[in-house]
Structure 1
Amino acid sequence: MHSTPSLPHVLVVGGGIAGLAAAARLRGVVDGTVRARVTLLEASPRFGGKLLSGEVGGVRVDLGAESMLARRPEATTLARAVGLADALQPPSTAKASIWTRGELRPLPTGHLMGVPGDLDALAASGVLSAEGLARAAEDLTLPRTEVGEDIGVGEYVAARLGHEVVDRLVEPLLGGVYAGHADAISLSAAVPQLLAIAQRSRSAVEGVRAALAGAAKNPNPAPVFTGLDGGIGAFPGAVAEACRAAGAELRTDTPVAALRRTANGWDVVTEDGGTVTADAVVLAVPAPVAARLLAELAPEAAAELGAIEYAGMALVTLAYDRAELGPLPGSGFLVPPVDGRAIKASTFSSNKWGWLDKSAPDRFLLRTSLGRQGEEAVLDLDDDELVALSRADLREAAGITATPYAQAVTRWRSGLPQYPVGHPQRVARVEAAVAALPGLALCGAAYHGVGIPACIADGWRAATTVTAGEVSPDLLSGTQ
């Protein structure tokens, strides 16, 4: 690594993956160029935010995010840079099902976030009724649907293919990412590839088919998703260790109470009464926390940030003796909300992840998720009630009657920011207001994407903003 004289001091507030990525960028962890002295303050006792692992029944497993998009380069690039290259592992199986209309039915192949590019595969799956299939086929002859700059995902897909496609395919797939509602979620923010198809193609089916055919021509296609041997929960610790090795100071249990602009930069006041002086600040915190810290400095930005809604969810992890279970199909199943079940998905973790199967061959771990925006009351049920609801649905969906020998419930209250129609414009207003405060940048899941690669990219972008540098094209293309 090489550094430059008179390095600025950047304080990063927040030790989730976005904040850690910002610190890694500033200390040259990926590309070897040290851009700043770094102090990172995390309010909680640990780093990683929604990336968390723990033991259930003596087996280490993810209790938060379990995979990351591999066709964006940022996450795999950072993982390799912090020594996790050999730990990257795609799922052992990607065959998922939809529990709908009383049965587990295969998730149709050839789709983009539930929008089919192959009507024959859709029909073969049995997910839709005959009436729903007939309505979906009308997409091929309907006139173009005008979408402008943005439209709700559900509104666009219903106009093209009917409400069954929204209810039984788009809703459960999109809900797995945002824990929100398809009608409210922005097509521009959540599925920009589909927005581009809508803007250039009359037919959604033909546009998706062409896009998938183009992707299939790649001679060395990357897996869509990847995990890590030992779980995604190991990622933030590895990044934190690499940042420390590169000279960053990282602190936990240090919540920030206030930001103050000074003649030469910033004073960051911690809740224990301490003050950290910095030339620049990266706020890598949830939108409500950023709104509180910016209420006096940037009231317009704070108001916009305060209006960003979040959804909560609970994950129920169950550990079984494998001998007591029959075979379970694929990687798990999604549940359309229209079917009125308690759970919204189940992942057969020991099927999905080879590292988990290898680490505990006599055990079988799976998990369910419950709750989404506007339906978080389920999180107030006690652990035993959430486990009972999950087991009842697992029994009906997949015939699982065995009793788990261990269980864990993880609640993620206000865990996922929502991206309604107009979200990109809201983010632009926030960033314009913050730009009036030199040496300040925001990053995290509330802005340009909720996935791990998007959060890492946002951390890199914020680091670049506060050091007035340029993001290396090689860095963002994942070639370094």
Structure 2
Amino acid sequence: MSATGTDTGQHVIVVGAGIAGLAAAHRLLQRGARVTVLEASDRVGGKLLPGEIAGVRVDLGAESMLARRPEAVALAREAGLADRLQPPATATASLWTRGALRPMPKGHVMGVPGTAEALSGVLSDEGLARVERDAGLPRTEVGDDVAVGEYVAARVGREVVDRLVEPLLGGVYAGDAYRISMRSAVPQLFQAARTHTSLTEAVREIQRRAAAAQQTGPVFMGIQGGVGCLPLAVAASVEARGGEIHTRVPVTALRRDPVRGWRVTAGERELWADAVVVAVPAPAAAALLDAASPEAAAELRTVEYASMALVTLAYRRADTALPDGSGFLVPPVDGHTIKASTFASQKWGWIADENPDTVVLRTSVGRHGETRILDKDDADLVAVSRHDLREATGLTASPLETGVTRWTDGLPQYPVGHHARVARIREHLAGLPGIAVCGAAYDGVGIPACIASADAAVDQLGGDLSTVARLMADPVQSLHGGAGE
């Protein structure tokens, strides 16, 4: 394999069959490598999980993918899902704040407004006045990085952070806006803040650029049958191209031999590969890289994770009258338990079309450092979800069926300095030929970002494997000049 796709027939082992690992395998096969994917669990897909409730097909993990980035939609098409791609039936969402469901303000970037008028009805009069003062404030330096909440609060007040930024970021990272890195989590805002004194003007500039670039069309995309179908389709494509995927095969060690390449220990088996893609969460990656790169492993062990749970509820349509829209977000400052609810049957037209007599809702609970709620059993999580849904929407009916899906340590956290940590990890690994990492722990937690990280890992291996091929052709050089040995 090379960066140009030349077939060398070299063997690459991908550790992990989440969407990043599967995307890497898919791309490697396109470039002519032999590929083996090893997955410790009993299924592929990671946080993308299709399921069923009351006979309705649903997602029990991530349910949509950003369409303004090309990677996820492109991979879905390559995997044969082009005719099943569907945008949301409605893009209208609400905030449950100050005792009512209020329309999600328009004209913001991750909750940061371009004007105070955009937040009328969400902020207090004092909060609106604080936003107006942004234009007259002196520059707030962002330096090499800054917490989103810290910077936004300094410019437009804590109320914007607590009632808008926090619920939006919480929906993506399940984290704390006052800890999350602006450079890593909202990079376009970070870049604009470096060149604008006024934050609101920076937001307006981002919006102008988006308009000039004609970024039209849906922001998000789904898949008929659920986004959980994506990894299954990619896995089928990998196997159709001759790749091997093995589940229930935990990898326990990686060691590099300067002549034979990488020795991969999987249970009682030892496999050899010219290169390895490590596509597992940071703690597992750290354990695998301990021997080959203890420095990279030490950095990976500093990555924190948040846990969360999704509660899925099915109701008779005749018993259910929901507000319009796709659902609502919940600012934690209001003291409610759930952090969001999705009206799945209203958001996705295919669910409503397939199940005209049933309505499906989802709620999510749990944020970084918030363990007490997740210690409750499933029945309690359903009960608190029903309580909050009743308070927010007036829904009093009894569900036909409920389910709880727990994602323990499911979301990596991006604190201030995350970009520098990722750079150090990659720098430590750069001296080792034939090894690359990818996944949500590095450059973004969304599906397109994970796929992009897989593509980058494959690009990196393209050069590495060309070097490996030359070394294998010259055993003397291989023995005495192997990088990282």
Q: Is 2:322–2:395's contact at 8 Å kept on the other side of the alignment? A: no
Q: Which moved more, 1:12-21 or 1:110-119?
A: 110-119
> How far apart, CA to CA, are the structure 2 residues paired with 1:276 and 1:469?
19
Q: Shift in Å at residue 120 of structure 1?
A: 1.4
1:269 aligns with 2:265: yes
> What is the aligned partner in structure 1 of residue 325 from structure 2?
330
Corresponding residue of 2:216? 221
Q: In structure 2, what is the Cα distance between the partners aligned to 1:392 and 1:5?
A: 58
Percent identity between matched residues is 62
State the shift of 1:88 in Å: 1.0
**Does the 8 A contact of 2:8 with 2:32 survive in 1?**
no
2:433, 2:464 within 8 Å by CA — same for their partners in 1? no
Matched, 1:87 2:84: yes
Q: Which residue of 2 aligns with 1:60?
A: 57
Q: CA deviation at 1:53?
A: 1.0
CA distance in 2, matches of 1:96, 1:429: 39
Structure 1: distance between partners of 2:208 and 2:119: 17
Q: Which secondary structure does the structure 2 equivalent of 1:54 belong to?
A: strand
Q: Is the 8 A contact 2:337 2:365 kept in 1?
A: yes
What letter corresponds to residue 150 of structure 2 in structure 1? E
Aligned residue for 2:403, secondary structure, equals strand
Q: Tell me how far apart the structure 2 counterparts of residues 382 and 44 of structure 1 sit (CA, whole Å).
A: 23
Paired position in structure 2 for 1:141: 136
Question: What residue in structure 1 maps to residue 44 of structure 2?
Answer: 47
Alpha-carbon distance in structure 2 between the residues aligned to 1:338 and 1:65: 25
Partner of residue 187, structure 2: 192
- Cα distance in 1, alignment partners of residues 381 and 294 from structure 2: 40
Give a deviation string over 1:351-389, Cα, whole Å, max 9, x none.
111111111111100100000100033222111100000
**Residue matched to 2:16:** 14
Greater mean deviation of Cα atoms: 283-292 or 89-98: 89-98
Q: Distance in 2 between matches of 1:104 and 1:222?
A: 26
Structure 2 counterpart of 1:181 = 176
Closer/same/farther in 2, CA of residues 3 and 297 from structure 1, 3 Å limit = closer
Give the gaps of 5 or more residues in structure 1: 29-33, 471-480
> Is the CA contact (8 Å cut-off) linking 2:68 and 2:215 kept in structure 1?
no
Secondary structure, counterpart of 1:373 in structure 2: coil
- Helix, strand or coil at the partner of 1:376: coil
- AA at the equivalent of 1:260: R
Distance 2:5 2:146 in 1: 46
CA distance in 2, matches of 1:356, 1:59: 7
Select between 44-53 and 254-263 the one with higher mean Cα deviation. 254-263
Please name the residue that 1:100 is paired with.
97
> Which is worse superposed, 134-143 or 313-322?
134-143
1:162 to 143, 157, 162: 157
Q: Give the 3-state SS of the residue equivalent to 2:277 in structure 1.
A: strand
CA distance in structure 2 between the partners assigned to 1:17 and 1:139 by the alignment = 41
Alignment match, 1:36:
33
CA contact (8 A) 2:306 2:409 kept: yes
Task: State the Cα deviation string for residues 183-214 of structure 1 (Å, max 9, x = none).
Answer: 10000000001001101111111221222133
Q: CA deviation at 1:437?
A: 1.3
Q: 1:407 corresponds to which letter in structure 2?
A: T
The answer as to whether partners of 2:296 and 2:425 remain within 8 angstroms in 1 is yes
Residues of 2 paired with 1:218 and 1:402: CA distance? 46
| Alignment match, 1:31 | none
Contact 1:317–1:407 (8 Å) recurs in 2: yes
> Partner of 2:372: helix, strand, or coil?
helix
User: Given the two structures, how large is their TM-score scaled by the length of structure 1?
Assistant: 0.94
- Pairwise mapping of residues 417-432 of structure 1 onto structure 2 (< 5 A)? 417-432=412-427
How far does residue 138 in structure 1 lie from its aligned partner after superposition? Answer: 0.9
Return the match for 2:249 from 247, 254, 266.
Answer: 254
Cα deviation, residue 219, structure 1: 4.5
1:404 to 392, 399, 404: 399
Contiguous gaps of at least 5 residues in structure 2: 466-485
CA contact (8 A) 2:7 2:32 kept: no
Q: How many pairs does the alignment contain?
A: 461
3-state SS, counterpart of residue 20 of structure 2: helix
Match for 1:365: what amino acid? V
- The aligned counterpart of 2:355 is 360
* 1:282–1:462 Cα contact (<8 Å) kept: yes
Cα deviation for residue 415 of structure 1 reads: 0.2
Provide the rounded CA distance (Å) in 2 between the counterparts of 1:223 and 1:119. Answer: 26
Query: Which residue pairs with 2:68 in the alignment?
Result: 71
CA distance in 1, matches of 2:368, 2:228: 24
Residues 279 and 322 of structure 1: is their aligned pair in 2 closer, same or farther, counting only changes over 3 Å? Answer: same
Q: Return closer, same or farther for 1:261/1:218 CA change in 2, 3 Å cut-off.
A: closer
* CA separation of 1:373 and 1:58: change in aligned 2, threshold 3 A: same
Q: TM-score, normalised by structure 2?
A: 0.93
Displacement after TM superposition at 1:119 (Å): 2.0
Q: State the match for 1:454 in structure 2.
A: 449
Larger deviation: 188-197 or 292-301?
Answer: 292-301
User: Does the CA-based 8 Å contact 2:66-2:447 persist in structure 1?
Assistant: yes
Of 111, 118, 121, 2:118 maps to 121
Large movers: runs of 4+ above 3 Å: 2-6, 217-220
Q: Residue 40 of structure 2 contacts residue 251 of structure 2 at CA under 8 Å; is this kept in 1?
A: yes
2:305, 2:409 within 8 Å by CA — same for their partners in 1? yes
Q: Offset of 1:432 from its aligned partner?
A: 0.6
Change (3 A) 1:366 1:196: same
Hey, what does 1:475 align to over in structure 2?
Answer: none
Is 2:410 the partner of 1:415? yes
Following the alignment from structure 1 to structure 2, what is the Cα–Cα distance between the partners of residues 139 and 110? Answer: 16
Q: Deviations over 1:319-353 (max 9, x none)?
A: 00010012322111111111111100001111111
The one of 322, 334, 347 equivalent to 1:339 is 334
SS at match of 1:185: coil
User: What is the SS of the residue equivalent to 2:105?
Assistant: coil
| 8 Å CA contact 2:7, 2:33 repeated in 1 | no
Distance change >3 Å, CA 128–CA 425, structure 1 → 2: same
Deviations along 1:222-241, whole A, 9 cap, x unmatched?
31111111110000000000
**In 2: Cα distance, 1:260 partner to 1:428 partner:** 22
Give distance in 1, aligned partners of 2:432 and 2:329.
44
C-alpha distance in structure 1 between counterparts of 2:270 and 2:460, whole Å:
23
What's the counterpart of residue 478 of structure 1? none
SS in 2 for 1:468: helix
Report the secondary structure of 1:307's partner residue.
coil
Shift of 1:217: 3.7
C-alpha deviation, 1:144, in angstroms:
1.4
